[in-house]
Structure 1
Amino acid sequence: MRTTLFYICSLATILSVYSCKEPIYSSGKNPITLESLMEEMVSVEAEPCFPVPFFTTKHVSSYDRRSVIPGTPSWHANRDNTGFVRYEANNGRVEKVLFDEKGPGVLTRILTTGGSDGANLRIYFDGEKEASILLPAYDISLFPLDIPEGLLYKHEHYSTTQGSSFYYPLPYAQSCKITVDNVDRDYFFHTSCRTYPKGTKVQTFTLKDGEALQDKAQKLSEQLMYPKTYTENPETKEARLTARSSLRMKLPDGEKAIRSLSIHVSEIDSACYASFMRNLIVKISFDGVQTVCVPLSDLTGAGMGAPAVRSYYLEADGKGHSKLRFVMPYQREAHIEVENISENSADIKIEACISTWKWYANTLYFHAGWKQENGLETNRGLDYNMGTLQGRSIFKGDMLSLYNHCPRWYGEGDEHIWIDHEEFPSHFGCGTEDYYNTTFAPIHPYFNPFGGAPREDDEASRGYNTFVRTRNLDIVPFNERLQFDFELISWDGGQVDYASTLFWYGDLKTKMTNISDSKEALYALPPAIYTEK
């Protein structure tokens, strides 16, 4: 990402940032363009920086518009393919308007589901009389440009539903409107967007721009799908970790950053692997404050059972070797600790690869928090709080790991993300599966650069399931507070055991307010359910 350094020139600005150094800007005098957004998507330098200028985010979906008042029976209304903005006439056609936002802004993620032959999806930029983007069959994967695999994920059920997730950024200077022209059908629909302050320079997307940047898009796709792990300047420490013991490693002092963190677990009894990986608690402290305290299995996005994970930020082989590629800067000092809260033993090796790092006024620390709740009742009008964050931060991703005691699908509930002082969530989805980029309940584990489903034991969704999602351009910055809930709705009713991990960047005062005590990770895992695949 192109970055421009500006010196802070007013006392008010100085008081609004975290140190007396100049901030690094995510966008300055240069306009935000398709090319700059591609660069930002994989920019290590920009990743831990609070965006300047600040942008707001929104998630517009087809959720049931009867959901108006939290806590009332209609809040869990579930006809989630019926919502839209309005009808309008365009060039002799009647169209459903699915998305209509003022800019300057960027579309960061689009999801379409449901086979809809005969319907056309149109994207209008900056008040166009006729849409410059026309997609047949209501299928975002038919975008009129060759979108590389790393930016377009076709869902497991694509052959029957045409469900796809589209991460190719589409910037617009003034406005963006998305419509569909077969108004006699209902459609599942998701679009996430950024909105910048008025006056921010944004260059509207054109197909000509996309064609000129095809090589860059392909390289970006390869970076996302096959991320390179930073391996220079490794700091290591290893030991035999016996029952109720810890391994602690101090990192070099000064302005530096953890560029990759690997934790290797070996010489472990295979019979207790699943529980042991959960009973290793990873604690990371920066500049005297602990910002991470999460079971190892959940910190890597694997969840209960610690299966394999493969994504841009998170990686695990399902055999004890885990890797995080989040950049983790600090100003003075850092410590990493792995605590064994179980009665079992194994060999543990911590490896952190370090680089120098320039700390700016808007540089933030890496955080991760974890919680678990068991015996949650579905279909009782309840929401599960994935986590609530306080303090100026960037929400970077999450993991949901669970045991489903219900006979069938548990994840019918929508996500709600409330930012700062919102009275209604600006992020309102239409199902757990869509939030994690799959059209219907998965029947196999799957991965893409932005997460996936590391675990799915049963085609009826019984037993163990894990979803993980990390964010590149679709990060969610906020100034004071973020609350993330999922409605607890299943097909049949019953109970679920949920564990969630949130990843974010914030200052040292930022916190997740409702974390679980580490001892909750001693929860006895129920027996797995397996069926023929």
Structure 2
Amino acid sequence: MKTPACRIFLFPAMVCFSIIFLLSCTGQKIVSLKTLLMGMTDRTGITQTPSPWYKLIQASSYDRKSDKVGGKGWFANDDYTQFSGVDSSKGRKEYILLDSDGPGAIVRWWMTFAGEGSYDGIIRVYIDNTETPVLQENALKLLSGQLLAGEPLSASVSPETDLKMRGHNLYFPIPFLKHCRVTIECDSIRITANSRKPSIYYNICYRQYEKGTKVVSFSKDELLQNAELIKSTNETLKSSGTISDNLNLYSSSEPISAKDSINVNIRSKNSAISKITLKLSAFDTEYALRSTVLKITFDGFQTVWIPVGDFFGTGYKKTTSSTWNSRVDDQLKMESYWMMPFKKSCSVWLINYGDQIVKADLNIESSKYKWRSNSMYFGASWHEYHQIMTAGAESEGGTGKHRDINFADIKGKGVYAGDAVAVFNTVEAWWGEGDEKIFVDGEPFPSSIGTGTEDYYGYAWSRPEIFSHPFIAQPSGSGNFHAGLTINMRYRSLDAIPFMSSISSNIELWHWLPAIINYSLTSYWYVIPPYEINIK
């Protein structure tokens, strides 16, 4: 029987409107498709601890042998066609990708496939324990085929890569009040004790809201009623830069001698840096990108210390990219759009740790910001594992003794907002089999555990082709298969990770060959003092 393009559970528009109206009268914050979409383009939202509070969890196809931290299977690599169960109650096999009680919302969904029949699977999304799926469609059409929304909410990367070798990304939010189950039906799936075919990889990030949170579940009516908002959200996300009223401009344009610095002081109550523009020139500009460091203090708290190239997402090479939070053009003009609030003052330094003169054209734009009790300071940290030895796979002559490396450990209350890696590979082999492992608030097992570094950054199959998307980018992939530099970035939107007391963000160092490489890690976050971070 031919499967309809999309089967949607019909939720009467009048009932939906009535629920929203009644909830709004109570003064409670309502989670809905509308509020989630609006949150994606609200640059101030991430500067405040979330309300209602939520836990960010990832359901993924990680190798289930990785069942114990530090155990024998901790670095197991069969991260495909792994499911949390199978439902055969409807006369067909539906393999379960996600099964969660509400209130919640799916906020980031990535998949890729390989093998005969792997692309033919039918995804079903069941909301609030209904027997009829609210969504039913081929996986590619649902995730990146613009079924629910156009680009970039629904997109595959890189556009230069063959479609079946891409990572397929859905950033379109799917809220649910009581329950959500996501399944895949695929006649090609064969699972035995020694084999799993075909290869189906998935990462689904979802919010689990605090009990009592009012949620308007996703429905066809919600989709239709928010059609214009979906369109405008896509248009806003595709536009670089930030538009704000009452901007103040602070500038510095002067040479920085070796081992010297310049700084710009801003004293303005209830303000926020909304844009930083920097253009460097030097005899060796690429060296200057790493040896020139951006340092920022807000109200006396230093939260930013990072090489400028890594901060803006270009590493130590001249690359181009355009995302929601940063942009680098072909003239190496670098822009940041992170919102950085403060109560009374902030100071921005450029420190030249190199041995050459660096000319820096620095422009800082600030705007009015209402500081609230749940406002947070922006932070960015960086460090490098310099000339680190990789274990290599046993099948390739290595020891197989892989290890976890650390983005950052933060103690305090805040939100983890994104990260980036710059990897200089030295051999002809893929360096990024490593899975992310993120522990929140002292949990014994990571609430986010993934399926590979490129999967975490939104692409697939180690592909070197460059791409830019509002929330993910690969400005350089020359080191993916060969000796060279790879830069990967992920800026978190609705998939930002709140933490009440601590977060430990890590990723596996899992290279196919034994090699000596350089691996630098950047983290972006917001925090409420007092706090501690292990990156000094």
After superposition, the Cα gap between the structure-2 partners of 1:160 and 1:82, relative to the gap in structure 1 and judged at 3 Å, is: closer
CA contact 1:433–1:439 (8 Å) conserved in 2: yes
Residue pair 1:121, 1:139 contacting (<8 A) in 2 also: no
Find the residue that maps to 2:46 and give its secondary structure. coil
Q: Is the 8 A contact 1:145 1:210 kept in 2?
A: no
What's 2:135 paired with?
133
1:216 equivalent to 2:234? Answer: no
In structure 2, what is the equivalent of residue 174 of structure 1? 178
User: Is the counterpart of residue 466 in structure 1 residue 457 in structure 2?
Assistant: no
Equivalent residues of 2:126, 2:132 under 8 A apart: yes
Q: Does 1:43 align with 2:42?
A: yes
In the TM superposition, what are the counterparts of 1:170-249 in structure 2 within 5 Å? 170-182=174-186, 183-184=189-190, 185=197, 186-230=199-243, 232-249=247-264
CA apart distance, 1:261: 1.2
Rate the CA distance shift 1:77–1:259 in 2: closer, same or farther, 3 A: same
Q: Which amino acid aligns with 2:125?
A: I
**1:363 counterpart SS class:** coil
CA distance, structure 1, for counterparts of residue 136 and residue 164 of structure 2: 21
Q: Note the C-alpha offset of 1:318.
A: 5.0
- The 2-side partners of 1:325 and 1:44 are apart by 9
Contact residue 278 and residue 295 of structure 1 kept, 8 A: yes
- 8 Å contact from structure 1 (residues 365, 507) kept in 2: yes
Q: Give 1:508 shift.
A: 3.3
1:444, distance to aligned residue in structure 2 (A):
1.8
Residue 252, structure 1, aligned to residue 260, structure 2: no
Q: Distance in 2 between matches of 1:160 and 1:514?
A: 39
SS in structure 2 opposite 1:413?
Answer: coil
Write the distance in 1 (CA, Å) between the matches of 2:310 and 2:144: 36
C-alpha distance after superposition, 1:398-454 (max 9, x if no partner) = 110111123210001111000011100000000000000002112222110002111
Moved more, 342-351 or 331-340: 342-351
User: 1:143, 1:284 → 2: CA distance?
Assistant: 41
Amino acid of the structure 1 residue aligned with 2:511: S
Q: Using the alignment, how far apart are the partners of 2:146 and 2:486 within structure 1?
A: 36
Which residue identity lines up with residue 211 of structure 2 in the other structure?
A: K
Superposition deviation, residue 474 in structure 1: 0.6
Tell me the amino acid that sits aligned with residue 393 of structure 1: G
- Taking the aligned partners of 1:178 and 1:334, their CA distance within structure 2 comes to 46
Tell me how far 1:144 sits from its aligned partner.
Answer: 7.8
**2:28 maps to 1:29:** yes
Match of 1:91 in 2: 90
Cα distance change, pair 140–493 in 1 and its aligned pair in 2 (3 A) = farther
Deviation at 1:291, TM superposition (A): 1.1
Does 1:163 find its partner at 2:175?
Answer: no
Amino acid at match of 1:329: P
Deviation per CA, 1:47-73: give whole Å up to 9, x if none.
200012211110110000000122233
Deviation at 1:234, TM superposition (A): 0.9
Q: How far apart are residue 146 of structure 1 and its match?
A: 4.3
8 Å CA contact 2:113, 2:119 repeated in 1: no
State the Cα distance separating 1:462 from its structure 2 match. Answer: 2.7
The answer (yes or no) to whether the contact 1:48–1:363 under 8 Å persists in 2 is: yes
Alignment-mate amino acid for residue 384 of structure 1: I
> Any stretches of 5+ residues in structure 2 without a counterpart?
1-25, 191-196, 392-400
SS class of match (1:83): coil
Letter in 2 for 1:431: G
- What amino acid maps onto 1:132 in structure 2? V
Q: Identify the residue that residue 293 of structure 1 maps to in structure 2.
A: 305
Tell whether the 8 Å contact from 1:398 to 1:470 is kept in structure 2 after alignment. yes
Where 2:68 maps in the other structure, the secondary structure is coil
Structure 1 pair 30/111, CA: closer, same or farther in 2 (3 Å)? same
Q: 385-394 or 183-192, which moves further after superposition?
A: 183-192
**Superposed displacement of residue 503, structure 1:** 0.4
Q: 1:442 to 1:219 in 2, by over 3 A?
A: same
Is 1:415 matched up with 2:436? yes
State the one-letter code of the partner of 2:177. Answer: A
Is the CA contact (8 Å cut-off) linking 1:298 and 1:304 kept in structure 2?
yes
State the one-letter code of the partner of 2:329. D
Among 483, 500, 503, the alignment partner of 1:479 is 500
1:459 Cα deviation after fit: 5.9
Question: What residue is the counterpart of 2:14 in the other structure?
Answer: none
Residue pair 1:304, 1:402 contacting (<8 A) in 2 also: no
Equivalent position amino acid for 1:235 in 2: Y
Distance 1:337 1:352 in 2: 12
Structure 2 residue matching 1:73: 3-state secondary structure: coil
Residue number in structure 2 paired with 1:360? 372
- State the shift of 1:137 in Å: 4.9
The number of aligned residues is 486
| 1:71–1:381 Cα contact (<8 Å) kept | no
Matched residue SS, 1:109: strand
How many angstroms does 1:98 deviate by?
Answer: 1.1
Aligned pair 1:454/2:463, yes or no? no
Mapped to 2, the partners of 1:169 and 1:29 lie a distance apart of 20
TM-score (norm 1): 0.87
Residue of structure 2 in register with 1:123 after alignment:
125
Equivalence for 1:151: 153
The aligned amino acid for 1:173 is L
The CA deviation at 1:461 is: 4.1
Closer, same or farther: CA 118–52 of 1 in aligned 2, 3 Å:
closer
Q: Deviations over 1:112-139 (max 9, x none)?
A: 1115243211111111112121112565
Match of 2:108 in 1: 109
Measure, in 2, the Cα distance between the counterparts of 1:142 and 1:407: 31
- Pair 119,325 (structure 1): closer, same or farther in 2 beyond 3 Å: same
Contact persistence 2:109–2:143 (CA under 8 A):
no
Normalised by the size of structure 2, how large is the TM-score?
0.87
Please identify, of 60-69 and 211-220, the stretch whose mean Cα deviation from structure 2 is larger. Answer: 211-220
Which residue of the other structure, out of 292, 300, 304, is the alignment partner of 2:316? 304
Amino acid at match of 1:375: Q
Contact 2:166 2:461 in 1 (8 A): no
2:280 is matched with 265
**2:473 counterpart letter in structure 1:** G
Asked whether the equivalents of residues 279 and 361 of structure 2 are also in contact (C-alpha less than 8 Å), the reply is: yes
Distance 1:514 1:144 in 2: 40
Q: CA deviation at 1:290?
A: 1.1
**How far 1:280 moved relative to its partner?**
0.8
Partner amino acid, structure 2, of 1:129 = E
- CA shift, 1:304, in A, is 2.6
Counterparts of 2:508 and 2:61, CA distance in 1 = 16
What is the rounded CA distance, in whole Å, between the counterparts of 2:497 and 2:27 in structure 1?
20
Counterpart residue number, 2:7: none
Q: Aligned-pair distance for 1:209?
A: 1.5
Distance 2:519 2:207 in 1: 30
Matched, 1:322 2:345: no
Work out the CA distance in 1 between the residues paired with 2:476 and 2:33: 35
Contact 1:122 1:131 in 2 (8 A): yes
